[in-house]
């Protein structure tokens, strides 16, 4: 069962939540997948989403790449949620640590995910700690960039999103995100 850790309401009216648990269990309109450019879903968040959502997600992902080519950091792909509670999966490609311009690329992946949610007319979204697993992005830096990107997007864009959840699976990562949250949004 997922556990609410922190919550805040921004001046723009949106509620932000920090949640510990399994992103596939979130009852949001969309969940964000930490994807690779070719949407080949294997381990980590992508593997969990594929297991929970079923083979439809991989079939739709393959069709997306066939039609549009590899996915960029700034322009995430999206598919149905398959068997997930979420109606959509937004496939955000975060950077691999060491490839260059990682901070900008991670910010673009978060911003792009929120923009796609708005384009789809969604009210709620759940985001993981993009790029911090096998892509090797340091948690401390990623947590700050993700919090900044969410707040900047909501302040600088007219958004229909009402609820944005940062869903962190494990306790060590959660501790890092809690510190970034407190630094950014207050305790």
Beta-bridged to residue 34, according to DSSP, are: 92
Sign (positive or negative) of CA dihedral 93, 97, 100, 104: positive
Instruction: Provide, rounded to the nearest whole percent, the portion of the chain with pLDDT above 90.
Output: 94
Q: How far apart are CA 44 and CA 47, in angstroms?
A: 5
pLDDT above 90 (res 176)? yes
Q: How far apart are CA 165 and CA 17, in angstroms?
A: 5
User: Confidence band (pLDDT; 50, 70, 90) for 186?
Assistant: confident
**Model confidence pLDDT, tens digit, residues 85-109:** 999 999 999 999 999 999 999 999 9
pLDDT above 90 (res 1)? no
Q: What is the mean pLDDT of the chain?
A: 96
Instruction: Provide, rounded to the nearest whole percent, the portion of the chain with pLDDT above 70.
Output: 99
Domain positions in the chain are 3-185
- Mean pLDDT, rounded, for 165-175: 96
Distances from the Cα of 158 to the Cαs of 17, 56, 83, 92, 152, in angstroms?
20, 32, 31, 21, 11
Backbone angles phi, psi at 91, to 5 degrees: -95, 100
Q: Given CATH 2.30.40.10, say whether it is the number of domain 3-185.
A: no
Q: What pLDDT, on the 0 to 100 scale, is given for residue 44?
A: 87
Residues in the chain: 187
Q: How far apart are CA 14 and CA 167, in angstroms?
A: 16
Q: Enumerate residues 6+ apart whose C-beta is below 8 A from 103.
A: 141, 145
User: Confidence band (pLDDT; 50, 70, 90) for 113?
Assistant: very high
Judge contact between 115 and 72, C-beta under 8 A. no
User: Confidence band (pLDDT; 50, 70, 90) for 42?
Assistant: confident
């Amino acid at each position: 069962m997922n556990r609410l850790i922190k919550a805040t309401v921004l001046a723009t009216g949106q509620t932000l939540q920090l949640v510990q648990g399994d992103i596939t269990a979130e009852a949001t309109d969309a969940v964000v997948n930490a994807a690779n450019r070719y949407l080949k879903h294997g381990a980590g968040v992508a593997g969990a989403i594929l297991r929970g959502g079923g083979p439809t997600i991989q079939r739709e992902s393959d069709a997306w790449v066939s039609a549009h080519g590899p996915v960029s950091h700034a322009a995430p792909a999206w598919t149905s949620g398959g068997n997930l509670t979420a109606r959509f999966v937004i496939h955000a490609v975060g950077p691999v640590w060491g490839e260059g311009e990682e901070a900008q690329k991670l910010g673009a992946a978060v911003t792009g995910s929120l923009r796609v949610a708005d384009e789809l007319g969604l009210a709620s979204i759940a985001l993981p700690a993009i790029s911090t697993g096998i892509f090797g992005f340091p948690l401390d830096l990623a947590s700050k960039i993700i919090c900044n990107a969410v707040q900047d997007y909501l302040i600088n864009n007219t958004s229909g999103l009402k609820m944005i959840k940062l869903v962190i699976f494990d306790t060590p990562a959660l501790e890092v995100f809690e510190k970034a949250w407190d630094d950014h949004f207050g305790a």
